[in-house]
Structure 1
Amino acid sequence: MTGAPTAPGRRLLLVHAHPDDETLATGGTIARYAAAPDTSVTLVTCTLGEQGEVIPPGLAMLEAGQADQLGGYRIGELAGACAALGPVEHRFLGGVGRWRDSGMALAGHGVRAATPEVLHPRALARPEAFDAQVEALAAVLAEVRPQVVVTYPADGGYGHPDHVRAHEITVAAVAAAGRPARLAFTGVSRSALAAGLERISRLPGLPFRLPVADDLPTVADDAVTARIDVTDQRAARVAALRAHATQVEVWAPAPPDDGAVVWALSNGIAQPLLDAEEFTVPDAAPGVLDDLFDGAPA
């Protein structure tokens, strides 16, 4: 008789609000650790992204204000992205469709978002749903027992209510899980974004507009305490971005070129595919980590 399989020695869990967030913020990190020996990657997605804006005109009827079928469609897109980045164990928080994309309101300046005045009865951001969401995530944490848990910073990166809620329930669930785990919060440093934008600004034929001040969220350089080199994961990241075709457009200049890749959401703002993904790790030792597991609880 054989015993139960031994869990991998390193276990990474990521909590994201909507399909595509895993790729946009952490696709390289997922791909790098998914390919590493003795390492497992678990992805928890909190909603189906039902309120997203659809880029391809032929799929516009999927949107919430029309057929309201986008959430189901994005399940397939997410599966394709995970296959490109994987192997990844994926779960929807509380089961498929338990909580719905809350949508967002514009906060009046730059990229900042706010909570809509009216929320769907199943919206992730509803105050009364918080305890059940923490319970659902704590159950996953108890099963997976990750040493590192990744999600957004306290402001969700740019204020989206679902990103904020993902942060809040992740912090609460880690505290409730009863075992130590390192928290790492996503972010892009101002200098890294500036360098990436300067590079793509020189590309001929760029089909997206370059951002102006406050179009894209960043964090102060000194807030970055982990920087993960994901250069070798570029092909997997591009494939995952392309899998989210309702939400993301991907462009690269025709050869000869320097390998640059540019992507944009429905707002048409150019964003460079950077060769490092950055995090704020509150318990990190002085300096900048190049491995999220370095110094994490055993």
Structure 2
Amino acid sequence: MTDRHILLVHAHPDDECIGTGATMARYVDEGVGVTLVTCTAGEMGEVLVPELSYLAYENDGGLGEHRRGELDEAMAVLGVTDHRFLGGFGRFHDSGMAWHADGHAIPAEEIPDNAFWTADLNEAADELVEVIREVRPQVLVTYDEFGNYGHPDHIQAHRVAMYAAQLAAVPSYKLELGEPHDVAKIYWTAMSESRMRESLRELRASGDTETFKGMEPDGKLPPFVTPDELISARVDGSATVERKMAALRKHATQVEQDGHFFSGAESGHSAWSDEYYRLVKGTPGKAGDDGFEEDLFAGL
């Protein structure tokens, strides 16, 4: 093990694999300490396995406990041994979501009790302050202020992570939560615009008109796509993408096993291997030939 540590804050089980799975696997391989904090159990998620439909929130329930097991299996594939739920399993409930006519997520009309979206920011942040002061990461990864696509739990994860990082560094703040620690670098996850346009060209050329329906290679792209000039780092996932996709398969209730993640022009080997990040705190390190940092710890 090195003395380096990275902390990732995600909203639901499976989010960590989609956006940062290759990164997590890489740092595990390098002996870096990797801690994943998942803010909810994803109790409101859609169940894509027909025989498990009874687990859905609107049916018998129990999806959160099932997804807890999926997360355990996924992290075993990536080699991540330190993964926790914010405040403990069940502390904050999945808030659910609805779709806006413009194609991004918004809060649902009915929000369950104890929803993460309506949690007191100080209370939620204090749960993460304690983790930050315990594991003392040099790097923290979370979403942007829009939660990448508007999901209320993603937005709240962003707020909690950013606020907790500030509070954790304050020398006089709640010392019962641990010795103060200042996270040197904070990144937001990003989807590269050039990579997305390239993927769309491959999809449409292959005859696939359904994946990312409504998006075209040269057209307007949704908010979760980030212009390349705003991106700071690219983690090369070519050596770890196989594990990333194997881990993602463990989230079987959420990801179609024959869907675009795993087959065709939009497979993990073409579009989901490299992972991109925006640096929002800290000094950027040396960039590679493409202008991006190649290591989230660069410059430390």
Query: One-letter code of the match for 1:164?
Result: I
Q: Deviations over 1:114-149 (max 9, x none)?
A: 1223321210010x5221110000000000000000
User: 1:166 aligned to 132, 154, 157, which one?
Assistant: 157
User: 1:124 aligned to 113, 116, 123, which one?
Assistant: 116
The total of aligned residue pairs comes to 275
Q: Deviations over 1:73-128 (max 9, x none)?
A: 00111011101111331011000111000011222212x111223321210010x5
SS in 2 for 1:291: coil
Q: Normalized against structure 1, the TM-score is what?
A: 0.85
SS in 1 for 2:116: coil
Report how far residue 198 of structure 1 moved: 2.4
- Check 1:209–1:294 CA distance in 2 against 1; reply closer, same or farther (3 A cut): closer
Report how far residue 281 of structure 1 moved: 0.5
Task: Report if the CA contact (8 A) 1:250-1:261 is conserved.
Answer: no
Q: Deviations over 1:194-232 (max 9, x none)?
A: 11232344458x696343235682111111111100011
CA distance in 1, matches of 2:209, 2:109: 34
Q: Deviations over 1:235-281 (max 9, x none)?
A: 1011111100100124489xxx9x96637xxxxxxx96423100001
Q: 1:3: which partner in 2?
A: none
- Check 1:43–1:105 CA distance in 2 against 1; reply closer, same or farther (3 A cut): same
SS in 1 for 2:244: helix
Task: Report if the CA contact (8 A) 2:95-2:152 is conserved.
Answer: yes
SS in 2 for 1:65: coil
Task: Report if the CA contact (8 A) 2:13-2:38 is conserved.
Answer: yes
Q: 2:218: which partner in 1?
A: none
Task: Report if the CA contact (8 A) 2:203-2:211 is conserved.
Answer: no
Q: 1:70: which partner in 2?
A: 63
Report how far residue 70 of structure 1 moved: 0.6
Q: Deviations over 1:169-203 (max 9, x none)?
A: 10111101113211110010111111123234445
Task: Report if the CA contact (8 A) 1:196-1:274 is conserved.
Answer: no
Report how far residue 67 of structure 1 moved: 0.8
Query: One-letter code of the match for 2:18?
Result: L
SS in 1 for 2:186: strand
Report how far residue 52 of structure 1 moved: 0.3
Structure 1: gaps of 5 or more residues: 1-6, 264-270
Task: Report if the CA contact (8 A) 2:233-2:277 is conserved.
Answer: yes
SS in 2 for 1:232: coil
Q: How does 1:251-266 map to 2 (within 5 A)?
A: 251=258, 262=267
Q: How does 1:68-217 map to 2 (within 5 A)?
A: 68-110=61-103, 112-126=104-118, 128-178=119-169, 179-181=181-183, 182-203=185-206, 209-213=211-215, 214=221, 217=224
- Check 1:93–1:83 CA distance in 2 against 1; reply closer, same or farther (3 A cut): same
Task: Report if the CA contact (8 A) 1:200-1:262 is conserved.
Answer: no
Task: Report if the CA contact (8 A) 2:24-2:80 is conserved.
Answer: no
User: 1:55 aligned to 39, 48, 52, which one?
Assistant: 48
SS in 2 for 1:31: helix
CA distance in 1, matches of 2:76, 2:3: 22
User: 2:27 aligned to 33, 44, 66, which one?
Assistant: 33
- Taking every aligned residue pair, what percent have the same amino acid on both sides? 39
Q: 1:295: which partner in 2?
A: 299
SS in 2 for 1:14: strand
Output the aligned Cα RMSD: 2.4
SS in 1 for 2:36: strand
- Check 1:146–1:132 CA distance in 2 against 1; reply closer, same or farther (3 A cut): same
CA distance in 1, matches of 2:205, 2:257: 17
SS in 2 for 1:132: helix
Task: Report if the CA contact (8 A) 1:62-1:70 is conserved.
Answer: yes
Task: Report if the CA contact (8 A) 1:99-1:122 is conserved.
Answer: yes
Query: One-letter code of the match for 2:297?
Result: F
Q: Deviations over 1:51-86 (max 9, x none)?
A: 000111111111100011110100111011101111
User: 2:13 aligned to 19, 24, 27, which one?
Assistant: 19
CA distance in 1, matches of 2:72, 2:36: 11
CA distance in 2, matches of 1:272, 1:201: 14
SS in 2 for 1:184: strand
Q: Normalized against structure 2, the TM-score is what?
A: 0.85
Query: One-letter code of the match for 1:32?
Result: R
User: 1:279 aligned to 274, 277, 280, which one?
Assistant: 277
